[in-house]
A and B are shown apart, each in its own frame.
Chain A
Amino acid sequence: MTQQGRKILVLFAHPGQRYSRANAELAQVARRTPGVTFVDLYAEYPRFKINVELEQQRLLDHDVIVFQFPLFWYSTPALLKEWQDLVLEYGFAYGEGGVMIAGKLFVPVVTTGGPEDFYRVGARNNFPLRDLLAPIEQTANLCGLRFVPPYTLYAALRAAGSERLATHVEGYGRFLQALRDDRLDLDAADGLPVLTADTLPIIEEAQS
């Protein structure tokens, strides 16, 4: 396999890893995939003292930025929000001269507690997941990043040990490889509200 593809940065944020099932398995896959730099933010900054220079350098060194996190109160865990607040500085990521990370891909990888049918107008959560992620989508837009719809596992709490989780985890591996090897059909992806293991628009390589 070629190593010349895109370099992927997975920023993993999960404060309650003691109880994590789905994200723990997803993290394993990301760790093992060649070409992926895996960062456990809560391990690196347990006291929230983020090294901004280091994080900005990491962004510069990679082509694909992945936020992998469980949805907490319709948002990212606190440390990942802190990361956004500090690392995506004016003059670096946006604003005057802030073009340092423009053109890179931005991919949320999200697990939710509620099942898919909760994320509908009028249902329990009243908004589609994609709408709830509007803040980070717009953050990506403002930074000139190309936003890829979130790779999503609904009802992650009930997924432990199930076939559904296995499929999703295996799909995550294929997803990361496709991103790395530029085999993800980005335009096709744009047409989908969220990505799941069975809707990944991966271009199968012509077996040349």
Chain B
Amino acid sequence: MTGLLFQAFVYLCAAVIAVPIAKRLGLGSVLGYLIAGIVIGPALGLVGDTESIQHIAEFGVVMMLFLVGLELEPRTLWTMRNRLLGLGGLQVGLTTVLVMAGGMAFGLSWTVALAIGLVFSLSSTAIVLQTLNEKGLMKSDGGQSSFSVLLFQDIAVIPMLALIPLLALPELAHHGAETHGHGGHGAELSLIEGLSGWQVAIVNVAAIAAVIAGGHYLSRPLFRFIASAKLREIFTAAALLLVVAIAFLMTLVGLSPALGTFLAGVVLANSEFRHELESDIEPFKGLLLGLFFITVGAGINFALLSENALLVIGLTIGLMALKAAVLLALSFMFRLRGADQWLLVLSLAQAGEFGFVLLSFSVQNSVIPADLSDLLLLVVALSMLLTPALFIFFDKVVLPRLDKEQGRAADDIDEKGAAIICGIGRFGQVINRVLKGNGYKTVVLDLSADMVDGFNRFGIRTFYGDASRPDLLHSAGLEEAGLLVVAIDDMDRAVEIVKHARRERPDLHIVARARDRHYVYELYKAGADDIVRETFDSAVRAARYSLEAFGVHPHEVEKLITVFVERDRDGIRRLARLFDPDVPVFENEPYMKLAREIEKETEDALSDNPSVHDRVKRAWLPPGSKPDDE
């Protein structure tokens, strides 16, 4: 018991200390976990047996794949089909073939080389998705391309798992039992003990079919029954049970649990329980994934590494260079440019956690000898360890250099407009149309390459780029602009843009879109002149219709609404001055006090208190009468 608590203490402690520090230093959480792992593992020796914990932690990957599957409605898949199949397929295919060729050049037999090729063709979904999300790059063109490739890889694991048993080396086959337990999922129970390669393949297909059929026909009535109990923790338990059960089944038949749960996720993507399942599994996934990264760091065999330092490092660098080269070639084929191209190339150059899975699977199936596998495991781990460094390289070196070269990352902006509009979504479009329609020049910036392409084709000059990057704002003509409109979704970025623009141009008029009150205050503090709550005016219109529906005279409604809007805006203006971004609203005493006062004023105004000369009631009052005297 104390041993378990001690282990938990060490792991949690490492994570809690290392991850925030790493984030603050701009290294990202993944590197933080990895470093935490190295510190408690090889460095301090606080944890010995990382393998058993890694099995538990790999469940984070399993859960992540389940979640990825849940996000993957067939329709989404369809819109991504070109990149998914083209980019992803070519990446996996080319990398496998090239690694295989390299392996055979080193004198390995073709079956071993092919297995290694398959292992190394995969990248780390865990690291890359986590990092892309963290950096807000998921929606960029490069991020989408990376995601497509990762998704294809995740799917490609299925045929790989089916293929690998067929590559079994006869001379290793009888050693299979000894090499068991080598980081693999080969549990004590197995349904495929003593079956030939072909029979295993058949059992595998049957298991997958069972998951799909079960997910499709059984899950709904089952979840409905469980949900009817209205006990949240039981639903959470059921969600976990689902994932665990599928993982168990996959383990029994010797398949990757990640694959099974991914399939289950896809099957359930259209289910009405999807969001519930997502939010239930998400925290487990986050923790386990963190644990997984720690074990990757902790599991690095430094003894083996130092013995073969040159070989392992050489292999790692060679592998990453080769993967990057393949990605670079593909990026030209798929017309990715600038930052997107670099993002794709740098983010996917590592080998991934599926590599661990495939390697141990290969060892179990007597495809790769165990000692070779140990070396390869090091290569995989090392390449994963280097990936956050590549992201930092992307941030600190690639982006600034691209900008120096007059923004190859962003479009080359040749127009200095009277108005800079950041974001050409539903919101920015309206502003742009009105300004253009009245003869004002605009420079439109947007982060979505699809939008930019579409609008350019539509005849609206639009430039691709992240407006929260100062240099892009400058090349868009911030120095000469007469107006800045910040109409992007991402509120934190919007605040950054306003802050920067205000610093550079104290005289510039800035119109900003705010999601809610909180961001009104933030944008006010940042220095925006006009702040528009994105749903306020439409809500006011809906309120107007509602009053009219009750038969209130439209002109009367207009007066009531006008007063309401003025009061609301006045209140928000007064509260904005007291808002402090560093103090939670409910702990901000002056703010709360004023908020209560305003509440009271509004109540008074709406009550029949005759001392309040409400504008609505005073309007067109006949001479000599009092408001509302009957």
Please list the residues of chain A having a beta carbon within 8 angstroms of any beta carbon in chain B: 15-19, 40, 42-44, 46-47, 113, 157
A89-B246 Cα distance, complex, nearest whole Å: 77
A19-B623 Cα distance, complex, nearest whole Å: 11
Contact, CB under 8 Å: B555 / A157: no
Q: How far is the CB of A81 from chain B (nearest CB, A)?
A: 15
A157-B622 Cα distance, complex, nearest whole Å: 8
Contact, CB under 8 Å: A113 / B555: no
Q: How far is the CB of A119 from chain B (nearest CB, A)?
A: 16
Q: Contact check: which of B554, B555, B625 meets A19 at CB < 8 Å?
A: B625
Q: How far is the CB of A124 from chain B (nearest CB, A)?
A: 12
A18-B622 Cα distance, complex, nearest whole Å: 10
A157-B625 Cα distance, complex, nearest whole Å: 10
Give A44's nearest chain B residue, CB to CB: B554
Residues of A within 8 A of B625 (CB): 19, 157
13 contacts between A and B (CB under 8 A): A16-B619, A17-B556, A18-B553, A18-B556, A18-B628, A19-B625, A40-B553, A42-B553, A44-B554, A46-B554, A46-B555, A157-B622, A157-B625
Contact, CB under 8 Å: A15 / B557: no
Contact, CB under 8 Å: A19 / B620: yes
Q: Contact check: which of B553, B554, B619, B624 meets A157 at CB < 8 Å?
A: B624
A-B contact number at CB 8 A:
37
Residues of A within 8 A of B620 (CB): 15-16, 18-19
Contact, CB under 8 Å: A42 / B554: yes
Give A79's nearest chain B residue, CB to CB: B555
A15-B616 Cα distance, complex, nearest whole Å: 11
Give A15's nearest chain B residue, CB to CB: B620
B43 interface contact, C-beta 8 A: no
A19-B624 Cα distance, complex, nearest whole Å: 12
Q: How far is the CB of A2 from chain B (nearest CB, A)?
A: 34
A113-B623 Cα distance, complex, nearest whole Å: 8
Residues of A within 8 A of B623 (CB): 113, 157
Residues of A within 8 A of B553 (CB): 17-18, 40, 42-43
A157-B555 Cα distance, complex, nearest whole Å: 21
A43-B556 Cα distance, complex, nearest whole Å: 9
B280 interface contact, C-beta 8 A: no
Contact, CB under 8 Å: A43 / B555: yes
Most buried by B among A15, A43, A46: A46
| Mask: chain B, 603-630; 1 = CB below 8 Å from A; 0 = not | 0000000000000000111111100100
6 nearest A-B pairs in the assembled complex, by CB-CB distance = A16-B620, A46-B558, A42-B555, A46-B554, A46-B555, A43-B554
Contact, CB under 8 Å: B622 / A113: yes
A30-B482 Cα distance, complex, nearest whole Å: 54
Q: How far is the CB of A125 from chain B (nearest CB, A)?
A: 13
Residues of A within 8 A of B622 (CB): 16, 19, 113, 157
A162-B554 Cα distance, complex, nearest whole Å: 29
A112-B208 Cα distance, complex, nearest whole Å: 87
A113-B556 Cα distance, complex, nearest whole Å: 22
Q: How far is the CB of B550 from chain A (nearest CB, A)?
A: 14
| Mask: chain B, 547-561; 1 = CB below 8 Å from A; 0 = not | 000000111111000
Q: How far is the CB of B627 from chain A (nearest CB, A)?
A: 9
Q: How far is the CB of A75 from chain B (nearest CB, A)?
A: 14
Give A77's nearest chain B residue, CB to CB: B620
A16-B622 Cα distance, complex, nearest whole Å: 9
Residues of A within 8 A of B555 (CB): 15, 17, 42-43, 46
Give B557's nearest chain A residue, CB to CB: A46
Q: How far is the CB of B312 from chain A (nearest CB, A)?
A: 74
Q: How far is the CB of A99 from chain B (nearest CB, A)?
A: 33
Q: How far is the CB of B556 from chain A (nearest CB, A)?
A: 6
Contact, CB under 8 Å: B557 / A16: no
A47-B619 Cα distance, complex, nearest whole Å: 15
A16-B623 Cα distance, complex, nearest whole Å: 12
Give B629's nearest chain A residue, CB to CB: A19
Residues of A within 8 A of B628 (CB): 18
Give B617's nearest chain A residue, CB to CB: A18
In the complex, besides A19-B622, A157-B622, 4 extra interface pairs with C-beta distance below 8 angstroms are: A15-B619, A19-B625, A46-B558, A157-B625
* CB proximity to A under 8 Å, residues B259-300: none
Q: Contact check: which of B554, B558, B621, B624 meets A16 at CB < 8 Å?
A: B621
A130-B320 Cα distance, complex, nearest whole Å: 96
Contact, CB under 8 Å: A47 / B558: yes
* CB proximity to A under 8 Å, residues B533-569: 553-558
Give A72's nearest chain B residue, CB to CB: B620
A113-B555 Cα distance, complex, nearest whole Å: 22
Q: How far is the CB of B243 from chain A (nearest CB, A)?
A: 56
A18-B614 Cα distance, complex, nearest whole Å: 14
Residues of A within 8 A of B558 (CB): 46-47
A46-B541 Cα distance, complex, nearest whole Å: 13
Q: Contact check: which of A19, A42, A44 meets B621 at CB < 8 Å?
A: A19
Q: How far is the CB of B373 from chain A (nearest CB, A)?
A: 76
Residues of B within 8 A of A17 (CB): 553, 555-556
Residues of B within 8 A of A16 (CB): 619-622
Residues of B within 8 A of A157 (CB): 622-625
Q: How far is the CB of B558 from chain A (nearest CB, A)?
A: 4
Q: How far is the CB of B419 from chain A (nearest CB, A)?
A: 26
Residues of B within 8 A of A42 (CB): 553-555
Give B552's nearest chain A residue, CB to CB: A18
A149-B167 Cα distance, complex, nearest whole Å: 107
Residues of A within 8 A of B619 (CB): 15-16
Residues of B within 8 A of A44 (CB): 554
Residues of A within 8 A of B624 (CB): 157
Residues of A within 8 A of B556 (CB): 17-18
| Mask: chain B, 111-143; 1 = CB below 8 Å from A; 0 = not | 000000000000000000000000000000000
A16-B615 Cα distance, complex, nearest whole Å: 12
Give B628's nearest chain A residue, CB to CB: A18
| Mask: chain B, 488-526; 1 = CB below 8 Å from A; 0 = not | 000000000000000000000000000000000000000
Residues of A within 8 A of B554 (CB): 42-44, 46
Q: How far is the CB of B439 from chain A (nearest CB, A)?
A: 23
